[in-house]
Amino acid sequence: MAKYIVKATIQTLEKGKKLVIKPSAEPQEVPKALVKELLGKGLIVETGTGSAKSAAEPTQAGDDTGTGDDNSGD
């Protein structure tokens, strides 16, 4: 099983036993057979090279607080 950030409760059967994976900001193991489907539905997020918190909370576009002058119509 690979590790991913889980955003919703996942219930499945694995080897005849019920498996429940609860949401968490910490990376958790997810059965490889489910990864593609769960990624497509947005229920899990790849941990990648960043921290688990950054993967769980994507940044918003337009949050740039730079000091440059964007007014080029002078």
Residues 14-28 pLDDT 10s? 889 999 999 999 999
| pLDDT band, very low/low/confident/very high, at 2 (cuts 50, 70, 90) | confident
What pTM does this model have? 0.58
* β strands within the chain, DSSP E: 2-6, 10-14, 17-21, 24-30, 44-46
DSSP β-bridge partners for residue 21: 10
Residues 36-65 pLDDT 10s? 999 999 999 998 744 444 444 554 555 555
